[in-house]
Structure formats: structure tokens, C-alpha cells
């Protein structure tokens, strides 16, 4: 994969990057991108032409521009040009202002990032430069807690062995620190500015690409070539941690960085209703053209047969015959009937969406007081699509979880600690108000550590040997690095968050890990300083699933301490532990049932003579050239036998509040949730159980972990056949056409029915094969049969690919939710992107359409705001098309009685104000305030969400029904007043059967009918609804009495020819009787049909609304502790743990500021695999208490 480099007007694909340090002219000759980023779409010069071009791509806007041009032709226009120009300009202006506002915000974000400063080595001195001015080949200096400016080759650092620690949360969502290490040849330069300024190394590497975990290149220094890999590179988006300073060489800048390559392309998102409206508008154009053609033919016939009679009174213009008259009348009727596609439709849609967006912004039940974070609708064009979601793609870390590990419970010598019981022996739920243990007796305790069970502290302080041995093991058996900048202020760098939680627990219970050297570990045991000699570290790997340390106490006692997965440790226990093992197993099942991550602890006393002999064999194995790993494993197996069981730990990967309940509610709404995470399989699986996404009662949880394409295919097919044995081998793909002009080809993979619940877990390398063209349908088919899908170790791009796969073949509305930069591509790919403003920065929020602080708010966003928005938009569209088609079709029937002359039925003032004044506010009222049931009933019955997923409220069928209703209503509205007014006289014998009186009667009937239709569609009446409906009718009568008055006629004689029509007509009883009869005939069929459907085929909404009227909503059940769930599935060992870190912590070089030659301790390999280590700065395990704000 190569980027496109533009140089001197020529564009060519970059195949290899070649650069030289400290040589800007040389590097600029290759025209590499600088470090500036641009996410904005416009600048001050391109805004107007580009924005207008985008807006006129919308079919309706182009149509009204064409209409405006027609109205400028006198022979065609029957209405003034400004009747179209003003609304069109208004629509374009409102949309342009909104687009400009959005783009200004993007410019501000770009400017904020581009104007950050960093130290750049220029002309042998460090200068402050803006990020955007940094060039490829520059050497820059980063300091602790700074963001990495660009993709850098690490040259040197302040830490021993040229190590640096980086937090990659913005890239992969993981908060544990990663270790990077510079080459020795560059590390020797340190912070010597002269040496760095004279450095002229040349780098050849891969072109810009989006692979976060791979990098290939070489560095040539003094004609010596050194290999470069991913562990020598710092990526933009990382943050430097626990490292005083480091120097790096810029390899990729700005858009070429891996972060930006992974960010995905920004696409303009439109809702499914938008797409449907475009198709309907096209259909309406066809309908309009058909009507105008019929009327044009009618005009030609009438002119030929009847027109000559009227020629003495209405002479033709010179050269106009019946054919030309027919042609001109076609375009005249296009103008007269243009209300079937009213431009106010698009203005109203934007206003409705904006209003519903404000309701999301103002919702106090989605406000998170702890961080002062309200919910935010960052995009105002997607609200109704929130009511149609079928698939949710969620990140795990920081989205479902809090990124906080807590030591929750433990089992010591067969007794479980961590639970609280009342006097009756009943389990008591632990809440934020529950009394905490007081650790003030321990000066080195972590003040943020929380534990509630007093009996454990009393046991430890009472001198119980097993309890003290338990915490002694936790303080000794680990690879944590301590940092004590001030006396008593300990900071632990842990390779996995589990280890940090366990060492912190030991610290608070009186066994404080204080410091380490390559040969010793110093701990404070109940206030007494004890130094243990570290004899050996038997490191963790994915096969062993355990780690051990061998230490020698000051008294000379040799002990092996071991911790690991229960199944692994149990196989190595001494037979005397069988009874204790049964008790501990019971506790482990309880802990696993609570979704906790468990480890088993054991120890073994060693004889000095045996150890000496074992050490000799270990030395021989560790220096062997062949089968070294196998021989070492055999030695580890030999010594880790006949262990004595101490107990087990249970660590909670804290979920955000309300996550299980939210997932349960969304599942009831038939929304499928897929978890796409960068974490390891075991971690994701454990969280799946904690969230109730994975359940013990599921028939099977399929795990796909093959390393070849054929292996992945086999595992997917095996899972599919097990779930649905009768299914066809080939997927059922339905091909169809959709979109504007039906040019888009779509393929839909149909759902297949499965008995029972299944789950699918697939890891990153298997997913890479499964996403290939020949396997993607197999993956989709198998995954969609499952209730739950979890994808582990996925890259940001794979997240987007999974979303796009579902979008492509399922034709369902998708939502992606995440909180880190690694979720940006997924958020952009989905129909709706939701960002959580959490601990991983604001990148996800900046790219999202909606944002809030907690995952639990998602159910309110979808089940309440989304459903209401969809319901309101559908009602709005149905009513809007009804009132405008009815309005226009009356003109159609009138054409047969006016010689097809394009004469309007209504007064011009009524035509102007019908959509903008008389019917504008009532329809906005129903579109902003209507709700079928309130939010409490929406939560009580998530099934109310089903109709939105199936497009039941507005579709092509609903549109056709709306047209048929309009045809019927327009027939009644024209012919009843026409028949009633024909040959009618006033009470005093004067004639009222004139054009003006008929127009007044017809428009009055029309307005009353559409107002009653709106009232029938309104479920939820507010004061504003009443004001808008009755106020609009009152406004209509006030306007006609004013416009038809003598005073207005005297001022504007030619513009208001309806003088006195209101007085002449509306004081006659037969006129009001006609209005009543017309209204009754229009509304009675609608009411009858709805009554019948309610009786024989009620919808879920009808049932719940009936229930709401007849029942009182049950009060929420008092919150009780969840019943104990027993599980035989237990978590594996230290999920984020990686092999090789044990060697690093026992390396003397690690603890010195500069490498010095020294003899390494026995049992330590010389080559330290730093590349595989991922230490983490352990965060303290609790936050301040917060109030729970559930919807």
C-alpha cells in the first residue's frame, strides 16, 4: 500500500520512503507531506461554489432552480418569480450557514492541533516549532506527558537501555503502557545536541500505510545497516509517559501517519428517509409530469373545440396556435402544481431535526454530573435514524468498562472474603455508602483503594500465617516496577492491570512492595522492612499461563511462589490440598458467576541442595543452542510440582454503571450488539459474561482462532452447520436495485432462523482472513445467526471493515460507539457514530454524530429520543404530503372547468401563505412534541422499537396510501363546494356563485380538513399544539377579513380583487353547512378505517397506548442484590500479560541510568525480548463516588 506523492504537478504512487536525518533540502526534493492535518472541507474561496454544488445535487433544490427559471418566462409563468426565489434562497442560506458552522468547528480543531508546539533540532539548536511546520527528516525532542508529534524513529531517551513508555489509548484503546526501545547505536547519542545535530543516518522503509502493528525498514549509519521494526517507532496519537525526555526522527508526517491513515474517509451521512425521499421526489416528478401532460392535452383539445368561441373576448397573441398554447400550458401547470414538491418540505425537515437535536442536548437524564458532561447531538441530520438501529458495534475498553481494575474478593485457606452479611446470614449488597475499611494504620497504603470486609483485615493483622503468606506472595510474585518520587508516594508500572490491582491490594493489607534490584525485592511486611533475594523468575507465557518466583528470605528459607490460571495450578498441587481445593473451587465458581477475573495462588518450600542441582541444569538449558525453550519448560514443570494451595484472588474489570441492564434492554428491542475490541480474547470474553452478552445458558460459544484461510472457513462452516444443520451450503443472496433512478445494485443476505442462543468469538488474525472477498459472506452468515459476536485483537481498519460488511449485505441501520481514536474509522463507517467522552481523549467524540459520557445513556438515546424522532418524522412526512397533494389536486379537477387555462383555484394570498403560515406551525407542533407513549412506558416496552427497524411508519406503501387519501379528499373538496355553490343565491336573492366565493369556500374547507386530519394524528397534546392548530385557523380568518376589506382594496386595488367576498359568503348558513358536510365526508372514512384496524389488527403501539390509559405504570422494583450465579467458566491468567517481561525486570541495566557491564543473575537470558513487553502505568482502582443517574 503506498500513498500518492504530488511533486511538480506530477502524481505518483510512493513505493518506498527514503529520507536523511537533518537534511531538509534532500527530503523536500521527494515532496513528502508535512505534519499539518486537514479535516475541514472548505476554505473561504471554495465555500460558496462547493457548497452550492453540493446543495444543488439534492434533486429538489435543482428542481426549484429550474422552476425559478421557468417563472422568469412571461409566456409560461402564472405566478410571480419571487414566490419561488425567496423560499429557495432561504433554504440555501439556512443550509449554507449550518454547513459553514460545522466546517468552522473543524477548522478550529485542525488549527488547535496544528499549532501545538514541539522542540525541533534546527541549525544545531532546539527551537520551538508548530506541529504543522515539522518536516520529514527533522529530529524532535519530546518530554514526559507530551503527545507524539508525528510517526518517529526513536533515537535516544532518558531511561536505561534507551527505553520509553508510551500510552497508546488513542490508537488501540489499551491504557496499559507499551515499551519502545531505540537502537544502541543511536541511543549512545543521549541528549548530546552536537551529536544529534551531526547525525546523518539514512532511513529506507515502507510507504505510508494503516498497519499499526507492523513496520519494516532499515537505518544506515556509517555504512552499517540496522534493521528497524515496530518497537523502534513512536506513532502519532501516543502519549509519552514516565519518560523524562526522548529524541526521535520524523518518518511520516500529517496525513501519512498511521493514525491519519486509519482515521477513515469522512462521508456525508444521509438517513434512509433521506434516500427514500429522493426516490419519492423522483416519483412525484413523474406524477407531476403526467398530470401536466394530461392537462396540456386537455388544453389543446379545448382550444381546438371551444377556444374559437372566446377569441373575440380573449384574443390570442400573434403566432400562438393550439399546439403552442398546449405546450405553454404544460409549463404553466408545472408552476401551478409545484406544491406537490414544496420547497418548505426541506426547510421543515431541517427545523424538525434541529429541534429534536436540542431535546437530546437538553435531556437532564443524559447529563453526567461527575464530569459535567451533557449529551450532545453533534450532527442534526440523523435523528430519526436513531429509531431504526438494527446493529450496534461497540468498543470494549472505556465504552463498556471504566478502565479500572479493582481487587474485589479473595479466598484464603478455604474461607472467602469480600462479601458482607447481615445478622440473619443474608448477603448484603455493597454500595457507595457502605462503610470502607480504614487503612490509616498503614502509612504506605493507597488512599484510593476500597475494600469493605473487616474480617480480612482482622485476619491479616491478627497474624494468621496463611493470610500473611497470601499477601506476601502477591507482593513478591509479579513483574511490577515501583516508582517513588517522594517518600511514601509509590507509583506502580504494571505490565497488566490485573497485576497492578493485586500488588496494590497487598500494599494496603500491610505487604508493601517497595523496590527491586536485579537480585533483590524489598517489601514492608506489617511495617517491618524485609529484603528477599530474588533467585529466579519463571516467566509467564501463553502456554504456561502462570508465573513463579524463587526467593530466599533473610532467614535463608527458600520458597517458590506461583500464581496462575486455576486449571493449570490445580494440576500441580500436592495431594494434601484436595479438600482445600474443593472449597476454593466453590469460591472460584461464585467469583466467575459474578464476572470476576480469577487467579489461584500456591507456594512450595525448596531444599537448598535440590535448588543448587536444579540451577546447574537450568544454566545448561538456558545456554543450549538447540531446543532451549523445550528444555527450560521441562525444568519449570519439574520444580513447579507438589505446590501448597494458598487461595485465589478475584479482580473486577469494572463495568460502567448500567451496562448489563442497557444491553438487556437493547436486546429486547431486537438490536444486535457486536463488540469489536483491541483487547485479548480472554479479556473480551470475560467482559462478555459480565455484561450478560455471553451467558451460561447459551447452547454454545464458538471460538474462531485459525491461522489460515482454510482453517477459518472450516471453523465458520462447522459453527454454522451446528446452529442450522438444514441450511443450504451457499448463502441466499437477494439482488435488487435501489437509489435514485434505481441505478444502485444492492445485495442482501437473508437472515436464517436458529433455535437457541449462540455466540461467536473471533480474533484479529482470523478476522483478517474472514474479511477477504471469498470468505466475507461465510463470516456474515455465521455471525448473524449468533445472538452475540465478539471480535478480539482487531485493528481500527478491521473495525470499519466489519461495519461496512454488515451495511453492504444486511441493508440495516448500523450504529458504532467508542471512546478512542482507534474507534474513529468505525464511527465514520457506521450510519450513526456515537462517541463517549471518556478517558481516551476526544478523538472519537470529534468524529461522532452524537456524544455522551456513559454507555447506559445509549438506551435513552435510541428507545426514547430515536424512536420519538422517527415517529415524528414519519408523521410529518405523511401529513405534509397529504396536505400538499390535496392542495394541488384540487387545481387538477378545477382545470376541467376553466378551459385548462392554468387558472388557480385559490386566492394568490392563500397560495403564498398556505405552506408558510397556515399549516407550518401545526405540522411543526406534531413533529416536535408528539409522542405515542412517554419515556417510562418506552423503557417498559422496548418492543415499541420494532416498527422503526422494519420501516413500518413511512415507506413507499405508506406514501401510496397517502396519495390515495389525497385524491379522495381533493375530489370531495372540489366537487362538494362546486355542486353546492352552483346556481346558489343568498338569503336576499343575490348571486354568490362567483369565482371568488367558490375560491374562498374551497380554501376554507381545505384548511379545516387538513387541520382536523392533523388533530387525528396527534397522540400527545400540549399547550403549544393547541396554540398552533387553533391559532393557525384564527390567523387564517383574521387574514382573509383583513385582505378582503375595503381599506386594503383601496390601497392595493389591482392586487386584492376579492373585496367583500368574506362578507358575501361567510354570513350564509348554506356555506357553513357545505363546510361541515365536506369536512365530514373527508374525515369519516379515515376514522372508520382506523377504528376497524384497531379492532382486528392492532399494532404494538396501539396495545401499549391502551395499556397506558387503563393501567398505572408499575413502580420500579426495589433494587436487590442479584442472585448468586455459579459458573464453572473462569477467566484465564493476567489477560494483558506478555512473555519476556520477567527478564527485563531482573536486568541490572534496567535500573541504572546508563548501561554498565555487570554479571547478570543466574537463570536470566542475555537477550531481553523488550519487543514483547507491554508494561502499564497502573491507575489507582477507584474513583470518587458518584450519583447514579439512570434514565
Residue positions annotated with a catalytic role: 395
DSSP string, 135-200: -TT-EEEEETTPBP-SEEEEEEESSGGGEEEEE-HHHHS--SEEEEE--HHHHTTTT-HHHHHT--
C-alpha cell at 73: 418566462
Residue matched to cell numbers 434512509 = 272
Element (H, E) at 533: strand 528-538
Q: Is 612 exposed, middle or buried (0-12, 13-18, 19+ CB in 10 A)?
A: exposed
Phi-psi region of 556 (alpha: psi -120 to 50; beta: other; left: phi over 0): left
- CA–CA separation, 752 vs 732, rounded Å? 9
Distance between CA atoms of residues 997 and 1004, nearest Å: 11
CA 362 from chain center: how many Å?
A: 20
Query: Degrees (nearest 5) of the Cα angle 1050, 1051, 1057?
Result: 60
Q: How many residues does the chain have?
A: 1191
| DSSP bridge partners of 564 | 546, 600
Nearest Cα to Cα of residue 678 among 398, 259, 261, 264? 398
Angle between helices 956-981 and 272-305 in degrees, nearest 10: 40
The span from the CA of 163 to the CA of 334, in Å, is 75
Please identify which residue in the block is written with the cell numbers 399549516.
919
Q: Which of left, alpha, beta for 123 (phi over 0: left; psi -120 to 50: alpha)? A: left
Please tell me the distance from the alpha carbon of residue 248 to that of residue 219, in angstroms, as a whole number. Answer: 13
Phi, psi for residue 979 in degrees, rounded to 5? -70, -35
Residue 946's contacts (CB-CB under 8 Å, 6 or more residues apart) are 669, 670, 1100
Q: How far is CA 889 from CA 42, 371, 965, 998, in A?
A: 43, 56, 11, 16
Task: Provide the terminal-to-terminal Cα distance of the chain, rounded to the nearest Å.
Answer: 47
* Helices 59-71 & 322-336 angle (0-180, nearest 10): 130
Residue with cell 426565489: 85
Cell reading at 1015: 388533530
Print burial letters for 705-731: b (CB count within 10 Å at least 16), e (below 16): ebeeeeebbebbeebbeebbeebeeeb
Sign of the CA dihedral running 149, 154, 159, 164: positive
Residue 266, H or E segment: none
What is d(CA 634, CA 643) in angstroms, rounded to the nearest whole number? Answer: 16
- How far is the C-alpha of 258 from the C-alpha of 1145, rounded, in Å? 31
808 Cβ contact list (under 8 Å, min separation 6) = 747
CB-hemisphere CA count at 13 Å for 621?
Answer: 18
CA separation for the pair 782, 763 (Å, rounded): 15
∠ CA 29-32-38, rounded to 5°: 140
Burial class of residue 78 in the structure, from the number of CB atoms within 10 Å of its CB (0-12 exposed, 13-18 middle, 19+ buried): middle
Cβ atoms 254, 36 nearer than 8 A: yes
Amino acid at each position: 500500500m503506498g500513498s500518492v506523492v504530488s511533486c511538480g504537478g506530477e502524481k505518483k504512487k510512493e513505493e518506498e520512503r527514503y529520507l536523511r536525518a537533518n537534511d531538509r533540502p534532500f527530503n523536500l526534493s521527494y515532496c513528502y507531506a508535512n505534519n499539518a492535518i486537514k479535516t475541514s472541507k472548505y476554505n473561504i474561496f471554495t465555500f460558496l461554489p462547493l457548497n452550492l454544488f453540493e446543495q444543488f445535487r439534492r434533486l429538489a433544490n435543482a428542481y426549484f432552480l429550474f422552476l425559478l427559471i421557468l417563472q422568469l418566462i412571461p409566456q409560461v409563468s402564472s405566478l410571480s418569480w419571487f414566490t419561488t426565489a425567496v423560499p429557495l434562497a432561504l433554504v440555501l442560506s439556512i443550509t449554507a450557514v449550518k454547513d459553514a458552522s460545522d466546517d468552522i468547528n473543524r477548522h478550529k480543531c485542525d488549527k488547535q492541533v496544528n499549532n501545538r508546539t514541539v522542540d525541533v533540532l534546527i541549525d544545531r539548536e532546539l527551537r520551538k516549532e508548530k506541529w504543522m511546520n515539522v518536516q520529514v527528516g527533522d529530529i524532535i525532542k519530546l518530554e514526559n506527558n507530551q503527545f507524539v508529534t508525528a510517526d518517529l524513529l526513536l533515537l535516544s531517551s532518558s531511561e536505561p537501555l534507551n527505553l520509553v513508555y508510551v500510552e497508546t489509548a488513542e490508537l488501540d484503546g489499551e491504557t496499559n503502557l507499551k515499551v519502545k526501545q531505540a537502537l544502541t547505536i543511536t541511543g549512545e547519542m543521549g541528549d548530546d545536541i552536537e551529536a544529534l545535530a551531526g547525525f546523518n543516518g539514512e532511513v529506507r522503509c515502507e510507504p505510508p500505510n494503516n498497519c499499526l502493528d507492523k513496520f519494516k525498514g532499515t537505518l544506515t549509519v556509517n555504512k552499517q545497516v540496522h534493521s528497524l521494526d515496530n518497537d523502534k517507532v513512536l506513532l502519532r496519537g501516543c502519549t509519552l509517559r514516565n519518560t523524562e525526555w526522548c529524541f526521535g526522527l520524523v518518518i511520516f508526517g500529517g496525513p501519512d501517519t498511521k493514525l491519519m491513515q486509519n482515521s477513515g474517509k469522512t462521508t456525508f451521512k444521509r438517513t434512509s428517509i433521506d434516500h427514500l425521499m429522493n426516490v419519492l421526489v423522483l416519483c412525484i416528478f413523474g406524477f407531476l409530469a403526467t398530470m401536466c401532460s394530461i392537462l396540456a392535452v386537455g388544453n389543446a383539445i379545448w382550444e381546438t373545440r371551444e377556444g374559437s368561441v372566446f377569441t373575440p373576448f380573449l384574443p390570442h397573441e400573434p403566432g400562438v396556435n393550439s399546439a403552442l398554447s398546449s405546450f405553454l400550458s404544460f409549463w404553466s401547470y408545472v408552476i401551478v402544481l409545484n406544491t406537490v414538491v414544496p420547497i418548505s418540505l426541506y426547510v421543515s425537515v431541517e427545523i424538525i431535526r434541529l429541534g429534536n437535536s436540542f431535546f437530546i442536548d437538553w435531556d437532564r437524564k443524559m447529563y453526567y454530573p461527575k464530569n459535567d458532561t451533557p449529551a450532545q447531538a453533534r450532527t442534526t441530520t440523523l435523528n430519526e435514524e436513531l429509531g431504526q438501529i438494527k446493529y450496534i458495534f461497540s468498543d470494549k475498553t472505556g465504552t463498556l468498562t471504566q478502565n479500572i481494575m479493582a481487587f474485589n474478593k479473595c479466598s484464603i485457606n478455604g474461607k472467602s472474603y469480600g462479601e458482607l452479611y447481615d445478622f440473619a446470614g443474608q448477603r448484603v449488597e455493597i454500595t457507595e455508602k457502605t462503610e470502607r475499611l480504614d487503612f490509616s494504620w498503614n502509612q504506605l497504603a493507597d488512599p484510593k483503594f476500597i475494600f469493605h470486609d473487616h474480617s480480612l483485615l482482622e485476619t491479616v493483622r491478627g497474624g494468621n500465617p496463611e493470610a500473611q503468606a497470601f499477601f506476601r506472595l502477591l507482593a513478591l510474585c509479579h513483574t511490577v516496577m515501583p516508582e517513588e518520587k517522594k517518600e511514601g508516594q509509590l507509583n506502580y508500572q504494571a505490565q497488566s492491570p490485573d497485576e497492578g490491582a493485586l500488588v496494590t491490594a497487598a500494599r494496603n493489607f500491610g505487604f508493601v512492595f517497595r523496590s527491586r534490584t536485579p537480585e533483590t525485592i524489598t517489601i514492608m511486611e506489617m511495617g517491618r522492612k524485609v529484603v528477599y533475594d530474588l533467585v529466579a523468575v519463571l516467566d509467564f507465557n501463553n502456554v504456561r499461563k502462570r508465573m513463579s518466583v524463587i526467593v530466599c528470605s533473610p532467614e535463608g528459607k527458600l520458597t517458590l511462589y506461583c500464581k496462575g490460571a486455576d486449571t493449570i495450578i490445580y494440576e500441580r498441587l500436592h495431594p494434601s490440598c484436595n479438600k482445600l481445593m474443593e472449597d476454593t473451587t466453590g469460591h472460584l465458581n461464585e467469583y466467575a458467576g459474578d464476572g470476576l477475573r480469577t487467579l489461584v495462588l500456591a507456594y512450595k518450600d525448596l531444599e537448598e541442595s535440590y535448588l543448587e542441582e536444579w540451577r546447574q541444569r537450568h544454566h545448561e538449558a538456558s545456554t543450549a543452542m538447540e531446543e532451549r525453550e523445550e528444555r527450560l519448560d521441562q525444568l519449570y514443570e519439574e520444580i513447579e510440582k507438589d505446590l501448597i494451595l494458598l487461595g485465589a484472588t478475584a479482580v473486577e474489570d469494572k463495568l460502567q454503571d448500567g451496562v448489563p441492564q442497557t444491553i438487556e434492554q437493547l436486546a429486547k428491542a431486537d438490536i444486535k450488539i457486536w463488540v469489536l475490541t483491541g483487547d485479548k480474547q480472554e479479556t473480551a470474553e470475560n467482559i462478555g459474561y459480565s455484561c450478560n452478552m455471553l451467558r451460561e445458558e447459551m447452547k454454545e460459544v464458538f471460538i474462531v482462532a485459525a491461522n489460515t484461510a482454510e482453517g477459518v472457513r472450516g471453523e465458520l462452516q462447522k459453527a454454522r452447520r451446528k446452529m442450522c444443520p438444514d441450511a443450504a451450503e451457499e448463502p441466499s443472496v437477494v439482488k435488487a436495485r435501489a437509489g435514485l433512478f434505481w441505478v444502485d445494485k444492492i445485495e442482501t443476505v437473508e437472515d436464517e432462523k436458529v433455535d437457541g442462543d449462540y455466540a461467536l468469538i473471533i480474533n484479529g488474525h482470523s478476522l483478517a482472513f474472514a474479511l477477504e472477498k471469498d470468505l466475507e459472506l461465510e463470516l456474515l452468515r455465521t455471525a448473524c445467526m449468533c445472538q452475540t459476536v465478539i471480535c478480539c485483537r482487531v485493528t481500527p481498519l478491521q473495525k470499519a471493515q466489519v461495519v461496512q460488511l454488515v451495511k453492504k449485505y444486511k441493508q440495516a441501520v448500523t450504529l458504532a460507539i467508542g471512546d478512542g481514536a482507534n474507534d474513529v474509522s468505525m464511527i465514520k463507517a457506521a450510519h450513526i457514530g456515537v462517541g463517549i467522552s471518556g478517558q481516551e481523549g476526544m478523538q472519537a467524540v470529534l468524529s461522532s454524530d452524537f456524544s455522551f459520557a456513559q454507555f447506559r445513556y445509549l438506551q435513552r438515546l435510541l428507545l426514547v429520543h430515536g424512536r420519538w424522532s422517527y415517529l415524528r418524522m414519519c408523521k410529518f412526512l405523511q401529513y405534509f404530503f397529504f396536505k400538499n397533494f390535496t392542495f394541488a389536486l384540487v387545481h387538477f379537477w378545477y382545470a376541467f372547468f376553466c378551459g385548462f387555462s392554468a387558472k388557480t383555484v385559490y386566492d394568490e394570498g392563500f397560495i403564498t401563505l398556505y405552506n408558510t403560515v397556515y399549516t407550518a406551525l401545526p405540522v411543526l407542533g406534531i413533529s416536535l412534541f408528539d409522542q405515542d407513549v412517554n419515556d417510562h412506558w418506552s423503557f417498559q416496552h422496548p418492543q415499541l422499537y420494532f416498527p422503526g427497524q422494519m420501516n413500518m411508519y413511512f415507506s413507499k406503501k405508506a406514501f401510496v396510501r397517502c396519495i390515495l387519501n389525497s385524491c379522495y379528499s381533493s375530489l370531495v373538496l372540489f366537487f362538494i363546494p362546486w355542486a353546492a355553490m352552483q346556481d346558489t343565491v343568498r338569503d336576499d336573492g343575490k348571486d354568490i356563485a362567483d369565482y371568488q366565493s367558490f375560491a374562498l369556500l374551497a380554501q376554507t374547507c381545505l384548511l379545516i380538513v387538513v387541520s382536523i386530519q392533523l388533530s387525528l394524528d396527534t397522540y400527545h397534546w400540549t399547550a403549544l399544539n393547541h396554540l398552533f392548530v387553533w391559532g393557525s385557523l384564527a390567523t387564517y380568518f383574521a387574514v382573509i377579513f383583513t385582505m378582503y376589506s375595503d381599506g386594503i382594496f383601496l390601497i392595493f386595488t389591482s392586487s386584492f380583487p376579492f373585496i367583500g367576498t368574506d362578507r358575501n359568503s361567510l354570513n350564509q348558513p348554506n356555506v357553513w353547512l357545505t363546510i361541515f358536510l365536506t369536512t365530514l365526508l373527508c374525515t369519516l372514512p379515515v376514522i372508520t378505517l382506523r377504528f376497524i384496524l384497531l379492532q382486528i389488527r392492532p399494532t404494538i403501539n396501539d396495545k401499549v397506548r391502551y395499556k397506558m390509559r387503563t393501567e398505572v405504570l408499575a413502580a420500579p422494583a426495589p433494587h436487590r442484590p442479584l442472585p448468586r450465579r455459579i459458573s464453572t467458566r473462569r477467566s484465564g491468567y493476567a489477560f494483558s500479560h506478555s512473555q519476556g517481561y520477567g527478564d527485563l525486570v531482573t536486568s541490572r541495566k534496567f535500573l541504572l541510568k546508563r548501561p554498565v557491564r555487570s554479571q547478570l543473575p543466574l537463570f536470566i537470558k542475555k537477550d531481553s525480548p523488550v519487543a514483547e513487553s507491554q508494561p502499564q502505568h497502573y491507575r489507582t482502582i477507584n474513583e470518587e463516588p458518584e450519583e447514579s443517574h439512570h434514565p
